[in-house]
Structure 1
Amino acid sequence: METTPRQIIDEEVQWDKTKTIVSKTDLFGTILYANEVFTQACEYSAIELVGEPHNIIRHPDMPKVAFKALWDALKKGQNFHAIVKNLTRTGRYYWVITDFTIDKDENGEAIGYTGRRKAVPEGVIQKIEPLYKTLLDIEKLKGEKASELYFNAYLNEEVGKSYNEFVVDLFEEESKKEKYQKEKDTKPEEQKSNFKKGLHWFFFGDFE
């Protein structure tokens, strides 16, 4: 759809962070459906998005190895979570945590993917952004394979978890910190426990 590169603006787009961004794609990542929250965040209309590759919103700050891990998992039939910085139509950005599920037909064959995305606490961004920058720098200087090798070594040696486990644990840890801080700053009757039901509920339930 676009023929000229977007100017990158170091500015976060404004969108309703209490809502869930939802999109559906075929097995090749072509967008089949985008909900209203998605269009608000990325600044494209649903008509503009349908039929386009999902990487239309890929931000240049994202290392390719993160998407390789995503697609490798989905092709194996595994659900997957990722923390992603996306690019809007005007060149702005927004950070999300994504939950991917595999859509299947009546015979159990995979026919596409559904992605649900929600905003992440600032603490998550502060911890994941330096890692992504390192991976991107390695990718630019030494190539994608070197970036992948470093990424796997980092997860094994410094984290001791898979990328999916690392993302989920980091998100839940920072969410609890954010929730605790909010509860300290609000009256008891206004306090809510949005994360007590776990990450699955976070994506599939609505905030009160």
Structure 2
Amino acid sequence: MAGKEVFFGDDQFIVSKTDTSGKIIYGNEIFIQISGYSEAELLNQPHNILRHPDMPATVYKHLWDRIKQKEEVFAYVINRTKDQDFYWVFAHITASLDDSNKIIAYHSVRRKPDMQALNAIKPLYQALQLAERSGGIHAGEALLNTELQKRKVTYDEFVLSL
């Protein structure tokens, strides 16, 4: 993995909000700091400006499928900084709704991941990426579903059990 790993504190929370198309409309101070971008460079940019190439598309698809249905989702995510360094987060993502229950934005709060949990996540993400390279996102989804069925858990149960 290129770049160096960047860490943030146990008591720090990375917060951002995007519009319905995924463009950043808010980021707290730690979000801006750890990303390496200025606030002006981040605002109105697609959130995937932080997407790390080692992050499986399968997990992003699962995440977006869930939040578009107004369901909360938890996920381990690896992000890339402006300087090509990287950082892991444990993300909690929800849809923000208006008075008529229409999605108006997405809100994400990320905390420092449990390092023991990453010992389970990293090999799974590597396997998902290999599957995606050889068979596309459908192969990644099939592999993820197989792994979850083996464990007899849902994605949420798996992630929250780590």
Shorter-normalised TM-score: what interval? over 0.9
Paired residues, what number? Answer: 162
CA contact (8 A) 2:68 2:95 kept: no
What letter is aligned with 1:95?
W
Cα 1:14–1:122 shift into 2, 3 Å:
closer
Unmatched 5+ stretches in structure 2: none
Normalized per residue, which structure has more strand?
2
Q: Distance in 2 between matches of 1:152 and 1:124?
A: 19
| Structure-2 residue corresponding to 1:28 | 21
Root-mean-square deviation (CA, aligned residues, Å) is 1.3
Q: Distance in 2 between matches of 1:103 and 1:115?
A: 10
How far does residue 25 in structure 1 lie from its aligned partner after superposition? Answer: 0.5
Corresponding residue SS for 2:89: strand
Q: State whether structure 2 residue 52 is matched by structure 1 residue 59.
A: yes
What letter is aligned with 2:159?
V
Question: Quick one: which of 133, 140, 152 aligns to 1:160?
Answer: 152
What letter is aligned with 2:72?
N
| Structure-2 residue corresponding to 1:3 | none
> What does 1:116-127 align with in structure 2 at a 5 Å threshold?
116-127=109-120
TM-score, structure 2 length as denominator?
Answer: 0.95
What letter is aligned with 2:82?
R
Question: Quick one: which of 114, 120, 129 aligns to 1:136?
Answer: 129
CA contact (8 A) 2:8 2:112 kept: no
Q: Distance in 2 between matches of 1:108 and 1:138?
A: 37
What letter is aligned with 1:45?
S
Corresponding residue SS for 1:96: strand
What do the CA deviations read for 1:151-195 (whole angstroms, capped 9, x no partner)?
A: 1111112x211112211111xxxxxxxxxxxxxxxxxxxxxxxxx
Q: Distance in 1 between matches of 2:97 and 2:111?
A: 23
CA contact (8 A) 1:102 1:112 kept: yes
What do the CA deviations read for 1:15-55 (whole angstroms, capped 9, x no partner)?
A: 34421000001111111001101011111111111101111
How far does residue 106 in structure 1 lie from its aligned partner after superposition? Answer: 2.2
How far does residue 14 in structure 1 lie from its aligned partner after superposition? Answer: 4.1
Q: State whether structure 2 residue 142 is matched by structure 1 residue 149.
A: yes
Larger RCO (alpha carbons 8 Å, 6+ apart): 2
Return 79-88 or 137-146, whichever deviates more: 137-146
TM-score, structure 1 length as denominator?
Answer: 0.74
CA contact (8 A) 2:148 2:154 kept: yes
User: Which structure 1 residue ranges, 4+ long, deviate > 3 Å from structure 2?
Assistant: 14-17
> What does 1:1-208 align with in structure 2 at a 5 Å threshold?
9-157=2-150, 159-170=151-162
CA contact (8 A) 1:35 1:46 kept: no
Which has the higher Rg, Structure 1 or Structure 2? 1
